[in-house]
Amino acid sequence: MVQQITPETTDTIIYPESDGQPMADNTEQFTWIVKIKENLEILFANQADVFVAGDLFWYPVQGNPNIKQAPDTLVVFGRPKGKRGSYLQWEEDNIPPQVVFEILSPGNTLKEMTKKLQFYERYGVEEYYIYDPEKNDLNGLLRSGNSFEVIEEIDGWVSPRLKIRFQLTADTLEIFSESGQKFLTPVELDQLRQQERQRAEQEYQRAEQERQRAEQEYQRAETERQAKEAALQELAQQRDRYQELLAKLQAKNISTDTLS
């Protein structure tokens, strides 16, 4: 149960938003934290009631600022997006993060990770994923009642909440959205955007060339039509002049049969 205290005792309680420690111990860990957090932001960008954060202090118990964790990435369903200095659960309809990710670094100790596991288990996390990029080792835990159960077959596992699929290759972890879109780093996403822009520009240029060719064909056809129309008009004018001449000759009783 989440502990609560009376509002009168909360006025002077401070819930720190930082512990002064770096978010990551090395570039590899930082890359993975950003990759997972930002791709989840993209994945749920159109769902107003899904809050995603990275390295944000989560305080589950009102009145006790010592009970806290800052998951590398957390996802909360049922809470609006927006700026937060920390996640004060009692101000969030008492909804705990349902999904948490931790990215290991060589500095993480077994004691530290055990404490985190116990914390997440106690305070309501439904899915807990731990990835060690150095060893390319992924572990997952799924809530069953009041405790976690290990996900035995994590390779190919699909998160019940996030609907994302985890795929372990010989070298790394790959994550895919329900639609099959692969999680990419910001650099890879930018490269993809550039490629898409280049393809769009090439398609536009091809379309413009086709338009110009069609315009040229139209102009040629129009020129030919106008030339034919002019020739027909000339023939019509010649016929009219001939008819006029015949009429004049007939008026003077001149037979055209005698003309040579």
Strands (E), 20-170: 50-53, 58-59, 73-77, 87-88, 99-103, 127-132, 137-144, 147-150, 165-168
Q: Grade residue 8 by pLDDT with cuts at 50, 70 and 90.
A: very low
User: Which residue, among 97, 156, 105, has the nearest Cα to 130 in the 3D structure?
Assistant: 105
Give the pLDDT confidence of 79-128 residue by residue, as tens digits: 999 999 999 999 999 999 999 999 999 888 999 999 999 999 999 999 99
Q: Which of 19-28, 149-158, 164-173 is least confident?
A: 19-28
Give the pLDDT confidence of 149-161 residue by residue, as tens digits: 999 999 999 999 9
| Residue 240: predicted pLDDT | 83
Angstrom distance (rounded) from CA 160 to CA 226: 70
What are the beta bridge partners of residue 77?
A: 50
What are the beta bridge partners of residue 132?
A: 137
Higher per-residue pLDDT: 119 or 20: 119
| Residue 11: predicted pLDDT | 63
Give the pLDDT confidence of 198-225 residue by residue, as tens digits: 777 888 888 888 888 888 889 888 888 9
Mean pLDDT of 55-78: 97
Mean pLDDT of 65-75: 97
User: Which residue, among 137, 71, 118, has the nearest Cα to 98 in the 3D structure?
Assistant: 71
DSSP state of 3: -
- Please state which of the four CATH numbers 2.70.50.60, 3.10.110.10, 3.90.1570.20, 3.40.50.10170 is assigned to the domain occupying 7-183: 3.90.1570.20
| Residue 4: predicted pLDDT | 42
Does pLDDT of 64 surpass 80? Answer: yes
Q: Grade residue 7 by pLDDT with cuts at 50, 70 and 90.
A: very low
Angstrom distance (rounded) from CA 230 to CA 204: 38
Angstrom distance (rounded) from CA 113 to CA 97: 18
Position 252: which residue type?
K
| Residue 54: predicted pLDDT | 96
Domain ranges of the chain: 7-183, 184-251
| Residue 216: predicted pLDDT | 87
